[in-house]
Amino acid sequence: MMKHLKYSQDKEGVATILFDHATLDVNLLSEEVLLELEVLIEKLSQNDELKTVLFKSAKEGIFIAGADINEIKSLTTQEQALAKVRQGRRILSSIATLKVPTIAIIDGAALGGGFELALACDYRIATENPKCKIGLPEVSLGVMPGFGGTVRLRELIGLQKAMELILGSKQLNGKKAEHLGLVDACVPSGYLSFKEAEFIAAINSEKGREKILSKRHKPTLLERLGSALIFSFTEKEVAKKTKGKYPAPLEVIHHFKKIQDMNFYEALESETQSFAKLALTPESKHLISLFFTSERLKHDSGVGKDVQAKPLHRAAVFGGGTMGSGILWLFSKIDIPVRLKVRGEQQIAETLQAVNKNYMAIKKRGRLSQREIELKLDLISADTGFRGFEMSDIAIEAIVEDVSAKETLYKILETQLDKEAIIATNTSSLSVSTLARSLKYPERFVGMHFFNPVNRMPLVEVIRGDKTSDGSVATVIALAKRAGKTPIVVGDCPGFLVNRLLIPYIVEAVHMFEEGESFERIDTLLLDFGMPMGPFRLVDEVGLDVGYKVAKVLEEGYGSRMKTAPIFECIYSDMGLLGKKKGRGFYTYIKNSSEVNEAVNALVTQKHSFSDDEILDRTLLVMVNEASRALEEGVVDNAAYLDMAMVMGTGFPPFRGGLLAYADERGIESVVARLKVLSTLYGARFEPSRLLMTMVQEKRKFYKE
Binding site for ligand NAI (CB under 6 A): 319-324, 342-343, 347, 398-401, 405, 409, 426-428, 449-452, 542, 546
The residue type found at 569 is E
Q: Phi and psi of 384, rounded to 5°? A: -95, -5
**561 φ/ψ angles, rounded to the nearest 5 degrees:** -70, -15
Apex 108 CA angle, 104 and 111, nearest 5:
75
Which 8-state DSSP code applies to residue 476? H
Q: How many CA atoms within 13 Å lie on the side-chain side of 175?
A: 4
At residue 425, what are phi and psi to the nearest 5 degrees?
A: -105, 140
Q: With respect to ligand NAI, which residue has the nearer C-beta, 319 or 535?
A: 319
Closest to ligand NAI by CB, 278 vs 550, is 550
Q: Smallest gap, in angstroms, from Cβ of residue 399 to ligand NAI? A: 4
For ligand NAI, the closer CB: 448 or 675: 448
| Residue 460 Cβ vs ligand NAI, minimum distance, rounded to whole Å | 10
- DSSP 3-state assignment of 412? helix
Neighbours of 85 (CB within 10 A): 26
The least CB distance from residue 594 to ligand NAI, in Å, is 19
Q: Which of 130, 136, 86 is nearest to 110 (CA)?
A: 136
Residue 526 contacts residue 502 (beta carbons within 8 Å)? no
Amino acid symbol at 598? E
Q: Which is nearer to ligand NAI, 287 or 317 (CB)?
A: 317
Please indicate whether residue 449 is annotated as part of the active site: yes
Instruction: Give DSSP secondary structure letters for 635-700.
Output: SSS-HHHHHHHHHHHH---GGGT-HHHHHHHH-HHHHHHHHHHHHHHH-GGGSPPHHHHHHHHTT-
Query: How far out from the chain centre does Cα 514 lie?
Result: 36
Q: Is the CB of 182 or the CB of 409 nearer to ligand NAI?
A: 409
Q: Which of 299, 449, 511, 608 is catalytic?
A: 449
18 or 317: CB nearest ligand NAI:
317
What is the C-alpha separation between 530 and 650, in angstroms, rounded? Answer: 11
Name the 3-class secondary structure at 305.
coil
Q: Which is nearer to ligand NAI, 461 or 643 (CB)?
A: 461
Could you tell me how many residues make up the chain?
A: 705
Specify the 3-state DSSP secondary structure of 605: coil
Element (H, E) at 225: helix 221-225
Least distance from ligand NAI to the Cβ atom of residue 479, Å: 16
Dihedral sign of CA atoms 169, 175, 180, 184 in order: positive
Beta bridge partners of 339: 316, 381
Q: Is the distance from CB of 657 to CB of 597 less than 8 angstroms? A: no
Amino acid at 115: F
- Known catalytic residues? 449
